[in-house]
Structures are given as C-alpha cells and as structure tokens.
Amino acid sequence: MIRLSIPVRQALSKLTLPVLVAAAFGLMLLGKADTLIAERARMALADVLAPIYGVLAEPLASSRAQIDNIRHMFTLYEDNARLRAENNTLRQWQAVAQAVDAENVALKANLHWLPDPTPNYVTAHVVADAGGIYARAVLLSSGPQHSVTKGQIALDDRGLVGRVTELGARSARVMLITDINSRIPVILENSRSRAVLAGTNGVRPRLMFWPEGSPPTEGERVVTSAEANAFPAGLPVGVVHYTSGKVAEVEPYAQLDRLEMVRLFDYGLRGVLPPEASVAKVSAEPKK
Amino acid sequence: MRAQRTPTIRPNPSLWRRLDVAARMSVPAGLTVAVLLVLAAPFGFPGQPEVQRASALCAVFFWSLFRPTSMPPAAVFLLGLLADLLSYAPPGVTVLVWLLAHGLALRWRRSLVRLGFVLVWFAMVSVACGAAALEWALTSLLTFRLLPPGAAFFEAALGVGLYPIVAVALTHVHQTLAEPDMA
C-alpha cells in the first residue's frame, strides 16, 4: 500500500466520483463505437447465469402453474362452457382442414410439386427475460455443444417468437417480435399484400407500409414473407386487430409473456445479419 | 508496521475480526448485487425488470446516504455496470445514473440524515424521477429511437413506492449486519 499524506488522500477521494462519471460517459461512447465488446461482455455474463437460472426456472414455473391452477378453480364452470363451444367450432374446422388437406395432396400429386425441405431445428429452454426496460427479449440456455447460430428463427408451439440476435457459449438471446427494434416482412393472408410488422415494446406489434387500397382487415391472419431473405414464407405470426385509435396491430399467436420453450429453426437465411455474424460463424466452424 | 499506525488504545485486531469487519463493510454492495441477480431470475411477474432496477436504485441511494464508506463510488460504478449488462441496455447508462444518484446522496447527506424519514423519502422521489427520466433520455439517444416513456413513469413510481419497504429492511441491516463496530 502506498502511503499518502492526508490532504492528497482527501483530494483523491474527492476526485473519484468525477473520474468515474467521466468513465461512465466513456463506457457509453465505447458501447456505441464498438457494439461487439458490449455484446461479448453481456453474453459472457449470460453464459454464467443461464445454467443457474435454468435450474431455477423449473421450480419457479411449477409454482406459477400451481397459482394458475388455483385461479382456474374459480372459473371452472365458465371455462367448461367456453371450451365445449370452442370444441364444437374446432370440430367443424377439423372436417374442413381434413378435406382441404386431402385436396391439397391430390393437387400436389397432379402438379408434381417439389416439397419444401424440412428445416433443422433444436429446442431450447427459455431461462430468463433478457430485455430489461426498453427491450423485449428472452435468454435461452442452449448447453455447451449447441448448434445455435445468429439469425435462427424462434417459434413456440403456436407461432413466431423472434430471432436469435446474440450468441454466447451456453446461451443465446432471442429478440422478440414485440421489441422496438424488430421489423418483420409479413403477408396479410386474405389480400396477399405485403406489409411490415414493427415492434413497439408493447404487447402487440404494429402493421406498417401496406399497399394503398388493401388495408388489413380485422381478424385477418398474418404470416411471414420471404422478402429480404430473413424469414421463410408462411410462418404464422398472428391476427390483425384494430385499436380504438384505428391503428392496425397484430395479436401474436405465440404466448410471448409466458415462453418456456422455443424451437430454433435453421432455414439457412442470412438476409439481414450484420457482417460480423457470418465472420464469427466461419471462424467457429473449424473447431467442430 | 501496522501496530505503529493503529492507536494503542484499541485491541490489536485478530485476523478473524478483520475478516468480520471486511465482510460487514461489503454487506451493502453484496446485498445490492444479490437483489440485481435474484430479480433477474425467471419469476415472470409483470414489471420485473422495472422492480429490479427501482429496488437496486433505492438500495444504492440508501447506502450512499447512511453508510457511504460501504458504498464507495467504485462499488456504485460496478453495480451500475452489472445492471447494464443484465438489462441489455446501452452500457454506461445505469452507471452514470446511479453515480449521479450517489453523488446527490453524498451532497444532501449532512442535512438529510438529521431530518426525518419523510423528508428522505421526498428526496428519493426526486432521485427516482430524475433517474428514470435520465435513463429514458440517454437510452433513447444511444439507440437513436424515441422510446415509449411509459416504462420510465412506471420505473419512477416503483422507485418512489418501493423506497419505504427497502428502507425499513435496510435500516435493520444497517444497524446489525452492516455495522463494522459490532464485529
């Protein structure tokens, strides 16, 4: 320990705060100038925390389920009535779907249709929220020997969840479609017109840039479009819903507020990846 | 050499006692780290990130006010960095905001500590509102996007509302666990 005189020590201790405030500004500039450093630091921390949160996630999820069960006890009667009605409607739809499916098979056989290749996918646990206040994202625990790459598309059992944006050794971060930075090319299924689905950090992302004269209609299905080579065509996204202020939003099919597992599909699309992502992938490959 | 520096009137501290004192000195920062990490776990209740940041800000403010020797600027810096990395916010924003809250607490310290709890709470109201507003403004600036301000209002309200709870819990810790004289 270096011995300093008392005035020097006092002067130094008074200087610490201004110096650290300056360092905070420096950090902001550094984070802006070199986004890769911040990303690496984050994912290094996430790699440490993901397994721990992964262990915690299961008991936490089961206790949440218990609370849900207790709540459902009180609405048992209404739930049953609603489910019976829904079941009747679904039975009709099932008949329609089977008929259409059979017709589709017959038509494809007649057309000598080339089937789309089935994409590879891995399933990963969602271990934590990774969005903070001003972003919407989740952290996945992927295990040390994973085949997750940036740009892979995450779906839950119902629809599109988001895309892998950051990658660690044991974890991956998925930006949700509700994030304010998320822009997804979509197709409105009835009119086949293209639009862009923009996140707002709210529960429902907004539709933008649809062609003049074919506005989205309430309840219309929205699926992804292959435009920009970022998504394959036809992944289910959600249904159109107009707010009271006549803003077209999409109610996502995916249960984004209670994600437990997601499937990560590799369609081999690298349309909108930043350049360093492909470099990282190339340099990572020889290790395998 | 150490014996020369310590006044002869005090007993020569043993290794255990010094360890005890060091542990007690690190309670404030350690507790705040624990709050940050635990509230980042997947509980899944709504508004969890806001609760995490607001309660950590309350803790930083409380310790800066009542035990600044155990919450030095360097500790605030590291805590802010941890919060930034956990929240995926642009790095440096929370660091700056918490350092400023720490500086304000130090500046107001002499007058506030003598005043009652309610006035300290009023000071916390201004700190929480200022912190949320600055965080929102800096994050908007650094992401080149006008972010929806709802989250900032929520965070400020939580900071104000959570402070009494945090303060009651931490006052207890302050008098027992974090007190080096009890070592």
Rounded CA separation A231/B47 (Å): 31
Using a CB-CB cut-off of 8 Å, the residues of chain B touching A132 are 49, 53, 86-89
Instruction: From chain B, pick out residues whose CB is under 8 angstroms from the CB of A33.
Output: none
Nearest C-alpha neighbor of A231 from the set A142, A161, A144? A161
Report CA-CA distances (Å) from B138 to A142, B80, B92: 33, 14, 10
Evaluate whether A265 touches A119 at the Cβ level (below 8 Å).
Answer: yes
pLDDT value for A272:
60
Contact A165, A178 (CB under 8 A): no
Beta bridge partners of A183: A198
> Which pLDDT tens digit goes with each residue over B80-93?
999 998 887 888 89
Q: Residue A197 domain-assigned?
A: yes
Q: Provide the number of structural domains found in chain A.
A: 1
- Say how far apart CA A132 and CA B85 lie, in whole Å: 10
Which residues in chain B are contacts of A127 at CB distance < 8 A? Answer: 42
Please indicate if any CB of chain B lies within 8 Å of the CB of A126.
Answer: yes
The residue of chain B nearest to residue A202, with distances taken between CA atoms, is B148
Residue A169 lies in a domain: no
Residues of B in contact with A21 (CB under 8 A): 96, 99-100, 103
In a domain, A187, yes or no: yes
CB contact under 8 A, A38 and B99: no
B78 and chain A in contact, CB less than 8 A: no
pLDDT tens-digit readout, B92-146? 899 999 999 999 998 888 888 788 888 888 889 999 999 999 999 998 998 888 8
B47 shares contact with chain A (CB less than 8 Å)? no
Measured between CA atoms, the residue of chain B closest to residue A41 is B85
B149 touches chain A (CB under 8 A): no
Give the residue from A4, A15, A19, A20 with the most B CB atoms within 10 Å of its CB, the best one to mutate: A20
pLDDT digits (tens, 9 = 90+) for B12-64: 778 888 888 888 888 889 999 999 999 888 887 888 888 999 999 999 999 99
> So what's the pLDDT on residue A82?
94
Residue A190 structural domain:
183-253
Give the closest residue to B152 by CA, choosing from B138, B133, B137.
Answer: B133
* B49·A133 Cβ contact <8 A: yes
Contact A180 B148 (CB under 8 A): yes
pLDDT along chain A (288 residues), means of 10: 75 85 90 85 88 85 87 89 94 94 90 80 86 86 81 90 89 91 90 90 90 87 86 89 89 88 82 52 43
B52 Cβ partners below 8 Å, 6+ apart?
Answer: B35, B36, B39, B40, B83, B86, B87
CA atoms within 13 A on the CB side of A150: 20
- Interchain proximity B85–A42, CB inside 8 Å: yes
Distance CA B130, CA B117 (A): 20
Q: State yes or no: pLDDT of B70 exceeds 70.
A: yes
- DSSP labels for B46-115? TTHHHHHHHHHHHHHHHHHHH-TTTS-HHHHHHHHHHHHHHHTPPTTHHHHHHHHHHHHHHHHHHHHHHS
Whether A198 is in a domain gets the answer yes
**H or E element, residue A175:** strand A171-176
The pLDDT value recorded for residue B172 is 85
Cα separation, A235 vs A224, whole angstroms: 5
Q: Is B148 on the interface with A (CB under 8 A)?
A: yes
Within a domain: A231: yes
Q: What residues of chain A lie within 8 A of the CB of B151, using their CB? A: 133-134, 201
Please state the ipTM of this predicted complex.
0.81
Which CATH number goes with the domain that contains A245?
A: 2.40.10.350
Mean pLDDT, chain B, rounded, equals 86
Which pLDDT score is estimated for A287?
A: 41
Instruction: Establish if A181 touches chain B: CB-CB under 8 angstroms.
Output: yes
Per-domain residue ranges of chain B: 14-182
User: In the numeric block, which tokens belong to residue B167?
Assistant: 């303060």
